[in-house]
Structure 1
Amino acid sequence: MIVWLNGAFGAGKTTAAYELLDLIPGSTLYDPELLGAGLRVMLPKERLGQVDDFQDLPAWRRLVADTAAALLTEIPGPLIAPMTLLRQEYRDEIFGALASRRVPVRHVLLHVEETILRRRIGTRAEREGGSSPDWCLGHLPAYQAALPWITADAHTVDTSRLTPRRTAERVAEAIREGAGALDIVQAPEPTAETLAAGVLLFDERDRVLLVDPTYKPGWEFPGGIVEPGEAPARAGMREVAEELGIELAEVPRLLVVDWEAPCPPAFGGLRLLFDGGCLESARAAELLLQGDELREWVFVTEAEAARLLPPVRYRRLRWALRARERGTTLNLEAGAPVGI
């Protein structure tokens, strides 16, 4: 298990984490910032110059989950990770990767009132040096902007008037009571090429339905991996029923077959998109999201989808929409049509 202590920069997460080690038997401090420091040494300056923060490196986000899983083969755990995480898509990627490795996460927010936080940051900078107070304070707007999703996701402990020890006691008590648990459902990471089936559902205005997964960044189509021995179209129907609570009356028509090239560490494979037809307003109102997988759904135009979908998924959608308009099926390789 990982106890992830989130919060503003300078909020005292690391201090509380050290106190927490005394209160949770077998616990070990796990500092993902050390992984960032290692990447700063190993990566070329040109690559580092392309990002503002080591959290923007896909390698860092993957290493956080890989290293945690590796550590838990050596020690009983839990791991205590004091790390500010303000971008929800990074939360999805990291926590989803941990879930695929069967590492449960307890997400705890250590919140401090802004006036008290500013005073703490200034006092700490005067006492021990370290992070510039201006650097910590400069990230406060991002923290405030992230609070809505963090508070919805994490168990919050207001530490404004708590000592580090009392903060740790509150966290330990919350963990014992099961607070902050994230029931993310994620299949183990593939070990070979996979076959996946997605289903496009439309409203009366011909907008397409997208869903926001809790376990990976970016929006997606309803669907998932085809199980061994399962017909792909039936797999898409099953996923729609499981994810949205909607039973499709007819087997959907195939729109595109897209070969996704291997891109280590991903294995790629075949990605199919089917036409699930129109989901009328009355039925759309009955959508029941599977909360441990999806947090939101929305109908979007093609232009709006371009802003929400990762490029590889948008290219697949764009050609699926063309196939739907033409009443045909298109064969794609890496998102581009072949044989036409």
Structure 2
Amino acid sequence: MIVWVNGTFGAGKTSTARELQALIPGSTVFDPESVGAYLRWILPPGELVGLTDFQDLTAWRRLVPDTAAALLAQLPGTLIVPMTLLRQDYRDEVFGALAARRVPVHHLLLHAEETILRKRIEGDDQEARAARQWRLDHLDAYRRARGWLERDCVTVDTAEATPRQVAERIVEIVRSGAALCPIVQDPVSGRDTLAAAVLFFDEQDRVLLVDPVYKPGWEFPGGVVEDGEAPTAAAVREVSEELGLRLDPSRLRLLVTDWEPHRGPRSGGMRLVFDGGLLTDDQRARLVLPDAELRAWRFVSEAESASLLPDSKRDRLAAALRARAAGAPLYLEAGAKAG
């Protein structure tokens, strides 16, 4: 398992991790900053222009869960990860990849009031002035992230406690299971897949999107078609599991068939998009999301979806809306009309 010790600079992650290692037999400390340092060394200079945080590198967000899983295979036990993680979409990407590898994650947040954090950062003689200012500047990002962090983590206040006391408290929390992330263990397929999505609309013709906890960005309701399963049956099953809605498969209307190239661990294969029709007020009131899979739902306009969906799904949605208006399905390849 992983004990992920989150918190902004000055919260005491590094010193707490050392104490945790002494308290948890057979544990190993893995600092993902080493992955960032390696990428800075190996990537061509052009890839690093304007980079202020290695977490913004796609390679970092993929290598961290891969490295953690490899370390656990080599050194079975507990992996202690002291790492600031303030962007929720990055948390989803990293933790989702770990869940796909069946690695449980206990997520702890070390917290102290900002005045204490500033005092700790400014009083660290080992920090160069530039690094110290960079850490102070990140206090704003921590303040903005507190809302989702407190919902996702168990918070441990470090203001009046020694690192040893904080570590002892974390051990208690981990043993209780209170900090274990409830996240769907969605296995990542190495082959192309067939997936079915369903679009639902409100009275303003806005489309419903859902926010998965196991990957970044928003998504259409739906999922992968299982072996031997009809695509419409998969669509009905996924909508029932994700939203608590019971659909009549005969009322689903195909809007788009899109061949998606294999660009990453969760892409590649045929993507079907169905029209699920209008969701009534009564249906919206009865929507129930599985905590381990989805965080939220919302209706958005096509323009609003542009900042929520990746390019491939944005193109697919635009095509689906055109097909819905025209009353005829479209065939796409990589989000564009073929032929």
User: After TM superposition, is the score higher than 0.5?
Assistant: yes
CA distance in structure 2 between the aligned counterparts of 1:120 and 1:15, rounded to whole angstroms: 13
Give the partner amino acid of 1:318: A
CA–CA separation in structure 2 for the residues paired with 1:265 and 1:175: 30
1:132 offset after TM fit, Å?
Answer: 2.9
Q: Is contact 2:236–2:248 with CA below 8 Å preserved after alignment?
A: no
Letter in 2 for 1:221: F
1:247 aligns to what? 246
Report what 1:261 is aligned to.
261
Aligned to 2:32: 32
8 A Cα contact 1:109 1:155, kept in partner: yes
Q: Which residue does the alignment assign to 1:129?
A: 127
Which amino acid is the alignment partner of residue 286 of structure 1? R
Task: Please give the per-residue CA displacement for 1:73-109, whole angstroms capped at 9, x wherever unaligned.
Answer: 1112210000000000000000000000000100000
Moved more, 128-137 or 244-253: 128-137
SS at match of 1:215: coil
Q: Distance in 2 between matches of 1:57 and 1:22?
A: 32
Is the 1:196–1:224 Cα contact (8 Å) retained in structure 2? yes
| Distance in 1, Cα, partners of 2:264 & 2:176 | 40
- Which shifted more, 48-57 or 142-151? 48-57
Aligned to 2:105: 105
The 8 Å contact of residues 62 and 94 in structure 1, kept in 2 or not, is answered as: yes
Mark the CA change 1:246 to 1:265 in structure 2 (over 3 Å): closer, same or farther: closer
Which residue number corresponds to residue 319 of structure 2? Answer: 319
SS at the partner of 1:70? helix
Contact kept in structure 1, 2:232 and 2:249, CA below 8 Å: no
Match of 1:178 in 2: 177
- How far residue 213 of structure 1 moved from its aligned partner, in angstroms, is 0.4
Alpha-carbon distance in structure 2 between the residues aligned to 1:331 and 1:91: 34
Matched letter for residue 75 of structure 2: I
Q: Secondary structure at the match of 1:22?
A: helix
The alignment partner of 2:26 has SS state of coil
| Corresponding residue of 2:295 | 295
Residue 191 of structure 1 contacts residue 267 of structure 1 at CA under 8 Å; is this kept in 2? Answer: no
- SS of alignment partner, residue 73 of structure 1: helix
Tell me the amino acid that sits aligned with residue 127 of structure 2.
Answer: G
CA-CA distance at 1:334 after TM superposition:
0.4
The residue type paired with residue 136 of structure 1 is R
Across the two proteins, how many residue pairs are aligned to each other? 337
1:1-340 matches, cutoff 5 A: 1-124=1-124, 126=125, 128-129=126-127, 132-251=131-250, 252-264=252-264, 268-339=268-339
Supply the distance in 1 between the matched residues of 2:256 and 2:207 (Cα, whole angstroms). 15
Counterpart of 1:47 in structure 2: which amino acid? E
Does the aligned pair in 1 maintain the 2:12–2:158 contact within 8 Å?
no
Could you report, residue by residue, the CA deviation over 1:107-160 in whole angstroms, capped at 9, with x for unpaired residues?
000001111111111222x2x335732121110000000000001000000111
> What is the alpha-carbon root mean square deviation over aligned residues?
1.2
Q: Distance in 1 between matches of 2:105 and 2:111?
A: 19
SS at match of 1:109: strand
Q: Check whether the contact 1:109–1:150 (CA below 8 A) recurs between aligned residues.
A: yes
Unaligned regions of 5+ residues in structure 2, if any? none
Runs of 4+ more than 4 Å apart: 264-267
Unpaired stretches in structure 1, ≥5 consecutive residues:
none
Greater Cα offset, 93-102 or 267-276:
267-276
TM-score by structure 2 length? 0.97
